Structure 1
């Protein structure tokens, strides 16, 4: 079990967090690593910090590039990765020192192509102890089960950074540049390439909740990229997973409701009108067959009828009733 893991870290304006992140990777109990630090044109001290780390640890490779966003930085790392396995860590987060070893253990025991772990969310003031269980407590899904689970947002998550991938599963996949919710465009395609996906019941990825993050409190118009990703996934499901079409349609419809509810609650006034037009286009393009409609439960039927008649009224009502927010 000594195959190389390439860990890709996209970096932009995180000098206060970068040492913690990189140190957690350097100190992994699984040592056969290629650590790819992608400086995405960061204007602070991050480029210098990256170069200093490269001088200290021969496993570290640094890319300095013009700023192109998170997806572009990850893609740059993928382009040069030489490991048989791939992992992603965002530069304001960090990982348990056992992250790579534990996920690799599950990968081998279950013969999986992708393995993910639980996520521990924290704030800057929190202190997290590194805990390791002796027992591997995991569940394994086939491709169809994993895709269904992903749509349901149940056990498996859409995030790319709490996972370990066999390289040949994602070797030809790249992240969509210029999109927020970039993971939503990516993960279902990775799952489709995998025969087995496992979930380890252990918190090994530590996710920092930052007030100034891309996914902060203000709901901006570009967050509607999530609906675009769900709609693209629906089109993919219609071609490849016939039994999941209804589930995927419901996911887009209620994703539309959630997005516009958030715009009404937390969006700028200038974005609300534009957002309404964008969301309504997706709603208009989703048609349910008679059989699909009959398979909806009564609550879903009511909300979808209202949504088709008036997105505005439906979302105001749901916000008032504190439903779906």
Structure 2
């Protein structure tokens, strides 16, 4: 097939990894693409590196903007993209040679498909975890079941696993939420699915996603920020459920919300908010989501502790006191450790 794919890469202070990323794109086995590099106000040599590639390969286009964040950089890439399909790559990651070819095979099997999905290689310091989903094709009436199948591998939220139809994104003015820096990828995908008529899943993985021990992935976020992202995710999923029925997806949505909520409840106590605030938040949480708690089977020991605490018929004040004591002791231990 001769379908052009737009590859959007936000770039910010990425000079250490940028050559590897861009070289892995330019050497793809499927060569019909446009590479859109969005420099987001880098202070290092990233912009010059981007321009060098633009000067040597006509498929490369570079745009520079003041630092506005990764979501705004991706949105600018969408605005500039003229290819019928588009996908996203991060500048610190890199591709195997058949990444684009995998997507094209998904289109070849179903020419009118609106989203093509493939797996991911999670690259740790000492090993690589290759995650490959089960192959399948899902028409609109089974779209949410398809997402549930992907959710079994916990990789739906990664932006790099999907190829989108550009015309749908532009027609419905879909953009990344610039006010959220966590789970914005998943929110974008869920909003896109409202207008998606079919999904093709390819049982391959060719994207190398670098797991960092620092940087953005380890960035400390507030209770409010994590909760806002979880709530918007929930709203998007529930909107899809109002359009398409799937009991599996509904259960997945509730399970994943509880998993996300343990993240923001952790921050509610890890950061010393007032007893009154913590009590009000826990009370509201239990009123809204207590019946969803059994759907989440945590493997993390702290999440197991939170779940046991929340499903036990303690009074709200007791729950708050126990969590406050837990985090007080944890802070004391950390101080003693650093002395």
Structure 1 Cα separation of the partners of residues 274 and 256 of structure 2: 23
Cα distance change of structure 1 residues 150 and 220 upon mapping to structure 2, 3 Å threshold: farther
Matches within 5 A, 1:108-127: 108-111=108-111, 112-123=113-124
Residue 201 of structure 2: aligned partner: 199
Structure 2: runs of 5 or more not aligned: 299-306, 328-339
1:174 aligns with 2:180: no
Residues 172-214 of structure 1, C-alpha deviations (whole Å, 9 max, x = no match): 3111112122112211122222222122221211000112232
SS in 2 for 1:193: coil
- Map 1:215-294 to 2 at 5 A: 215-216=217-218, 218=220, 220-221=222-223, 222-237=225-240, 239-241=242-244, 243-244=246-247, 246-247=250-251, 248-261=253-266, 264=269, 267-269=270-272, 284=287
* Conservation of the 8 A alpha-carbon contact between 1:114 and 1:164: yes
Q: Which residue of 1 aligns with 2:5?
A: 5
Q: Give the Cα–Cα distance (whole angstroms) in 2 for the partners of residues 86 and 252 of structure 1.
A: 29
2:119 and 2:205 in contact (8 A); partners too: yes
CA shift, 1:150, in A, is: 3.6
CA gap of 1:242–1:127, structure 2 versus 1, over 3 A, is closer
Structure 1 residue 209 corresponds to structure 2 residue 215:
no
Asked if structure 2 preserves the Cα contact closer than 8 Å seen for 1:150 and 1:188, the reply is no
| RMSD of equivalent CA atoms | 3.9
Q: 8 Å contact 1:253–1:283 — kept in the other structure? A: no
Q: How many residues are aligned here? A: 305
Matched residue of 1:87: which SS?
strand
8 Å CA contact retained: 1:220, 1:271: no
Change (3 A) 1:273 1:44: farther
1:1-325 to 2 correspondence within 5 Å? 1-111=1-111, 112-123=113-124, 138-150=135-147, 153-155=151-153, 157-171=156-170, 172-180=173-181, 181-216=183-218, 218=220, 220-221=222-223, 222-237=225-240, 239-241=242-244, 243-244=246-247, 246-247=250-251, 248-261=253-266, 264=269, 267-269=270-272, 284=287, 310=316, 313=319, 316=323
CA change 1:127–1:287 in 2 (3 A) is closer
Once the two structures are overlaid, the 10-residue window that deviates more, 218-227 or 196-205, is: 218-227
Distance in 2 separating the partners of 1:200 and 1:311 = 49
Deviations 1:248-302 (A, max 9, x none): 34543443234324665xx4446999788667656655697xxxx9xx7799999
Tell me by how many angstroms 1:113 deviates.
Answer: 1.6
* Equivalent-residue separation in structure 2 for 1:230 and 1:82 (angstroms): 29
What is the CA–CA distance in structure 2 between the aligned matches of 1:73 and 1:179, rounded to whole Å?
A: 13
* Shift, 1:123, TM fit: 3.5
Q: Distance in 2 between matches of 1:311 and 1:158?
A: 35
DSSP 3-state at the match of 1:215: helix
| 8 Å Cα contact 2:230/2:261 also seen in 1 | yes
Which structure 1 residue ranges, 5 or more long, are not aligned?
A: 321-325
Tell me the CA shift for residue 240 of structure 1.
2.1
Deviations 1:82-109 (A, max 9, x none): 1111010011111111111121112221
The 1:280–1:149 alpha-carbon spacing in structure 2 relative to 1, beyond 3 Å, is farther
Q: Which deviates the most, 187-196 or 305-314? A: 305-314
Mark the CA change 1:33 to 1:92 in structure 2 (over 3 Å): closer, same or farther: same
Greater shift in the superposed pair: 63-72 or 119-128: 119-128
